[in-house]
């Protein structure tokens, strides 16, 4: 999934919107061992992406946000979720899902 936030001729689309739209597929892929890498603005994009991940997990498994946060932390500890982020500024974000 790539969310080209501001590409000429393309509708405005952020990664977290794609994640919400494809929540079940995303969680299914992560559950089957996929790795998730995000790259972009650490002050706005990264927290919104993590919120979208927690929301997707909560919706799919009917869990609360604390359980979803624990799940996300485990993914990170297992090396299956990583981020390359920087502070401030407005730079389009990207997300890569490797299965």
pLDDT at 5: 61
Residues 49/52/54/55 CA torsion (nearest 10 deg): 170
pLDDT at 3: 59
pLDDT at 1: 56
pLDDT at 13: 74
Positions in the chain whose pLDDT score sits under 70: 1-7, 10, 88-99
DSSP 3-state assignment of 37? strand
pLDDT at 84: 92
Write the DSSP symbol of residue 22.
Answer: T
Q: What is the CATH number of domain 15-98?
A: 3.40.50.80
CB of 15 closer than 8 Å to CB of 45:
yes
């Amino acid at each position: 999934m790539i969310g080209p936030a501001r590409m000429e001729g393309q509708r405005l689309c952020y990664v977290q919107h794609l994640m919400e739209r494809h929540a079940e597929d995303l969680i299914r892929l992560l559950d089957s061992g996929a790795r998730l890498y995000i790259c972009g603005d650490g002050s706005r994009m990264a927290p919104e992406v993590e919120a979208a991940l927690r929301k997707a997990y909560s919706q799919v498994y009917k869990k609360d946000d604390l359980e979803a946060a624990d799940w996300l932390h485990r993914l990170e500890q297992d090396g299956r979720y990583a981020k390359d982020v920087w502070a401030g500024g407005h730079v389009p974000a990207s997300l890569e899902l490797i299965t």
